Structure 1
Amino acid sequence: MTTARRHWNGVLMSTLEAAADPDAPLRSVTLPAEWDVDAASALAQLVPGDDPIDLPALASRWISALAPDEASARSLVWLLLTRQAAPVEAVWHCAFDRPAGFVVNLASFVSPGEGFAARTFVAALKLICAVLRQAALNMADQRNGDLPLPDLFAPSPSAGTDTPPMQAITAGDILLTNMDACLAGVGLDYDSEDGRAAACAITALATLTAHAGRGPESLPLPPVRTVLPGLGETLRAVWNEAAVETLAPVAPIETGFSTPNPIDGLLGVESCGLAPVFSMLRPDGRLANSTRQRLDIRGFTVETALAAALAGETVLPQPGPKAHLAMYRALTGFADRMPARPETLPTPVRLRLERGMRRILPARHGGFTQKTTIGGHRLFMRTGEYEDGTLGELTLTPTRESPMVRGLMESFGDAVSIGLQYGAPLEAYVENFAYSCFGPAGTVEGDPVASYATSMLDYAFRALSDTYLDRRLPDGPHQDSASEPDPLLPLDLPEGDDTQPTRPRRNLRLVC
């Protein structure tokens, strides 16, 4: 650890007070002076507890475990200092029972006025691949968290060696992140053909570099368009190098996109994985770096952009869910693993209520009361309406039923009322409870909306559908109650021979 930590000599450090969440106590976090409080909060999430955190000491643990030599250790420190790459959370805790991985910040490889540094990007990925494969080889005895099933019947290693074949071990993952901010740095919009073409070229470059040494069959086809200057030449060079046949295939490394985690905060990521930057502002209210870059490319200052926005001009078009889905479809095939498919369907208006928000009926409200008889059983139904005429309350009261049945029906009405006031659609209730079959059922008297009901709930929700949804539902099929005896009544004894003596019925006794 001492050897790895000395690479931090000469780095200007500062100590900030930060916490993993607003309710947690503040902790002292020592990190590079150029980093912000968001990075300090990410470190507080990585390291549980209340003790002070020192980034050089924390990083030296995994650097000493991963780096095979001094040059690799120095390069890993540099990747972390420049916020270009950092290992996944498990590596920070030196948990090597599963494949390790690195999160790569694409936006950090963009230099102002120079564009995307493709060669630097490839050099960083080659270092990460070498470190991951060497760590997988050195720590194979700790890998009890996965089993290489496809290689169960692979040839055993040479006699006299205890080292498993490299091709039987998954070395780790390379997870790309901050794609939209990277495109903003090179002057491309997320929701554009050129933006998607550049994203495909960068992702293909990462996958080609990770698959180098595994044979040409594992290489993805490069995209047709590269858009970014110099990226096409680098892609062809990496392809020619990766397509060379190898006698001993190296351990596979898979590419993908990151999901929300503390490492993104540590690297200063604006948009996780391949998602767009949905907001032009940072959490503290200032303009995001990607917003400033896009304004500069369009020739706007902050003042002129504000004036144009006040005049009704669209200064920066913000990408939405459809742009996210288009980027997802474009990148499919250029990475080994894709995240969950983004959802583009708009959220229904009723479901946009904040969690826990209930729309209470006013003290004086409209509605109606309906007295009905269903199969000779009387039912009172009362409704309560909001100012706009929508249903917000339902009361069902059977007057001549047992206390248990009456209590259950009234409680059911209260449950429906609570659901309606929290935004549940009436259509779902009608679909689920209309035509429900149970007694009492029969002819409906007192309401022309139905002449026959298969249950009290069948009548009630068909009546609500007619009143509040303007949709009258037809009667359900009649049930012949005489064909089947009521199981709650004593069954008639089968008819027997008059010549046979009948057994007298015993009287029931109540035992207390």
Structure 2
Amino acid sequence: MSTLQAAADPDAPLRSVLLPAEWDAEAAAALAQLVPGTDAIDLARVASRWVEALTQDDATARSLTWLLLMRQAAPTESVWTCTFDRPPGFIVNLAAFVTPGEGFSAETFVAALRLLSCVLRDTAQTRANQRNGELPLPGLFATTAAPVPTQADAPAQDDPTQPALAGTLLLTNLDACLAGVGLDYDSEDGRAAACAIAALTTLTAHCGCGPESLPLPPVRTVLPGLGETLRAVWAEAAVETENPLAFIETGFSNSAAVDGILGVEACGLAPVFSLLRPDGQLAQSTLNRLDARGFTAETALAAALAGESVLPLPGATAHMAMYRALSGFIDRLPAKPDPADQPLNQKLERGMRRALPHRHGGFTQKTAIGGHRLFLRTGEYEDGTLGELCLTPTRESAMVKGLMESFGEAVSIGLQYGAPLEEYVNSFAYSCFGPAGTVEGDPVATYATSMLDYAFRALSEAYLDKKLPDGPHQDMQGEPDPLLPLDFPGDGGDPPPRKRGSLRLVVS
């Protein structure tokens, strides 16, 4: 065990959190968010509260504790605070059921789901009187008082047309699970494996509810051993029953604090967007995918430096394709992803730098702003998007020239990591500092308030197809330019002769 200092948010006071030594600071922060108050947190003591509230069986309690310590499953947020006014639920970490060298442990996964389903149904029966958030009000607007039904007249909770909801089983960390078995998220095999796991989850949760509630199993299972387990669960679940069990809904989770407890890399069915952990090390899913391709971290770095694409990230439509593939194998899906919200060329690819090819296109523009020369050079990818910027003032001091060139290199690094050009244009266009003045050599602008103002307005027209108008001219009523005469005659004649100074020698 280890003790970490964590808080639910940056403004909250730090709390001591006692948790297993292999858990990280993110898990400690998640515990601080799940457990209200300001006192120290002991994971064992906090977990024992909801375990005792869910079951009185010692064997079941030990199994629930084991699933939590293995980071395979954890209850939803309301269960952590022992609030049972709604059906309880568990979040299942799919990646935790992958054994290195053996693949996905389907039998262990089914055993865990059966245990959680049994706990949810028992809890729903024992805690039914606490569900004040689901009390029906059939006679609320009745004109006459309806007779109070007796216990014998009460509708059955196990009506097959409206089955009682005992709880929810939500899956998460799908992409990390696929990485553990050597499959890519954006692939046919990856989607087939995800559908098989989702169908196995729904069949196990619906076992005992009647065959009409079962989904059809997928055609392909891909993962070794998963097909046999799927057929065995189907044969057990597809049995007619006169007294169906309470219904357990399956789905994929949304982002919540429980993700930190389970060490989730990607919530629900979303892909893993980062190849790195928050501490800068390679994520476990990245290591698994490198191992599946026969790379070590060192050989992958060498291949990347040689220009080889070692680990391609999921495409823009990968999330939607997975969402559509899973429809029909799971009861509830999260909100539909919208790829148009974050195009790939505008989304920051965390941890991945898209280097320019050795021979690339672009343009060079020679111009002058207020009489000060500037060379603007760009570098482009194969698709024509901007990936490099170089700003070189020719007749400035060494400091100014170095700062401008360093600024261009910093912008280039940001562009190659996926930073949107629009943000740079919004930040630096119309910036005001000298030199400023008339623009010569480029029709994109007639006046610029600074070299950066000109540069990013030129990039906006070239790469965003958006021409920005000139900014307001600077007021030149300050000090005169020392290169010009200080006094001009009012009548247009010759300037008055300067008064010759005299030199005095002072002897002390």
**Common topology (TM > 0.5):** yes
- Structure 1 residues 59-109: Cα deviation after superposition (integer angstroms, max 9, x where no partner): 111111111411111111111011100000010001100111100000000
CA distance in 1, matches of 2:43, 2:218: 39
C-alpha spacing 1:257/1:366, structure 2 compared with 1 (3 Å): farther
Identify which of 130, 133, 138 aligns with 2:118.
130
Equivalent residue, structure 2, for 1:508: none
> Does the 8 Å contact 2:210/2:241 carry over to 1?
yes
- AA in 1 matched with 2:285: S
Identify which of 253, 256, 262 aligns with 2:257.
262
CA distance in 2, matches of 1:426, 1:298: 43
SS in 2 for 1:233: helix
> Does the 8 Å contact 2:158/2:245 carry over to 1?
yes
CA distance in 2, matches of 1:49, 1:354: 43
Alpha-carbon distance, 1:136 to partner = 0.8
CA distance in 1, matches of 2:150, 2:100: 52
C-alpha spacing 1:387/1:227, structure 2 compared with 1 (3 Å): same
> Does the 8 Å contact 1:107/1:182 carry over to 2?
yes
> Does the 8 Å contact 2:269/2:322 carry over to 1?
yes
Equivalent residue, structure 2, for 1:417: none
> Does the 8 Å contact 2:176/2:265 carry over to 1?
yes
CA distance in 1, matches of 2:57, 2:256: 29
CA distance in 2, matches of 1:366, 1:247: 88
Provide structure 1 residue ranges, at least 5 long, that are not aligned to the other structure. Answer: 1-12, 151-155, 368-382, 392-419, 428-463, 468-512
Task: State the identity %.
Answer: 65
- AA in 2 matched with 1:290: S
Equivalent residue, structure 1, for 2:48: 60
Equivalent residue, structure 2, for 1:284: 279
Identify which of 308, 333, 341 aligns with 2:303.
308
What pairs up with 1:44-59 in 2 under 5 angstroms? 44-59=32-47
CA distance in 2, matches of 1:356, 1:35: 42
CA distance in 2, matches of 1:240, 1:389: 66
What pairs up with 1:204-215 in 2 under 5 angstroms? 204-215=199-210
Is residue 2:98 matched to residue 1:28? Answer: no
> Does the 8 Å contact 1:86/1:263 carry over to 2?
yes
What pairs up with 1:351-366 in 2 under 5 angstroms? 353=423, 359-362=429-432, 364=436
TM-score, normalised with respect to structure 2: 0.66
Equivalent residue, structure 1, for 2:157: 165
Alpha-carbon distance, 1:147 to partner = 4.8
Alpha-carbon distance, 1:387 to partner = 2.2
Alpha-carbon distance, 1:42 to partner = 0.9
> Which deviates the most, 357-366 or 207-216?
357-366
Equivalent residue, structure 1, for 2:72: 84
Is residue 2:231 matched to residue 1:236? Answer: yes
C-alpha spacing 1:165/1:278, structure 2 compared with 1 (3 Å): same
Alpha-carbon distance, 1:425 to partner = 11
What pairs up with 1:325-474 in 2 under 5 angstroms? 325-345=320-340, 346-347=342-343, 353=423, 359-362=429-432, 364=436, 387=454
Is residue 2:176 matched to residue 1:181? Answer: yes
Equivalent residue, structure 2, for 1:69: 57
CA distance in 1, matches of 2:206, 2:248: 7
Equivalent residue, structure 1, for 2:211: 216
SS in 1 for 2:171: strand
C-alpha spacing 1:354/1:133, structure 2 compared with 1 (3 Å): farther
- Structure 1 residues 93-141: Cα deviation after superposition (integer angstroms, max 9, x where no partner): 0110011110000000010111111111011111111111111111111
- Structure 1 residues 242-301: Cα deviation after superposition (integer angstroms, max 9, x where no partner): 111111111111111111111011001111101111111001100000111111121111
Is residue 2:88 matched to residue 1:18? Answer: no
> Does the 8 Å contact 1:29/1:54 carry over to 2?
yes
Alpha-carbon distance, 1:384 to partner = 8.8
| Residues paired across the two proteins, number | 371
- AA in 2 matched with 1:344: P
C-alpha spacing 1:26/1:353, structure 2 compared with 1 (3 Å): same
Equivalent residue, structure 2, for 1:397: none
Alpha-carbon distance, 1:179 to partner = 0.4
Alpha-carbon distance, 1:332 to partner = 1.3
Equivalent residue, structure 2, for 1:322: 317
CA distance in 1, matches of 2:264, 2:190: 18
Alpha-carbon distance, 1:177 to partner = 0.3
CA distance in 1, matches of 2:326, 2:421: 31
TM-score, normalised with respect to structure 1: 0.66
Is residue 2:215 matched to residue 1:225? Answer: no
Equivalent residue, structure 2, for 1:106: 94
CA distance in 1, matches of 2:331, 2:424: 37
C-alpha spacing 1:194/1:147, structure 2 compared with 1 (3 Å): farther
- Structure 1 residues 371-420: Cα deviation after superposition (integer angstroms, max 9, x where no partner): xxxxxxxxxxxx999526969xxxxxxxxxxxxxxxxxxxxxxxxxxxx9
SS in 2 for 1:15: strand
- Structure 1 residues 185-207: Cα deviation after superposition (integer angstroms, max 9, x where no partner): 11111111111100000001001
Equivalent residue, structure 1, for 2:405: none
SS in 2 for 1:387: helix
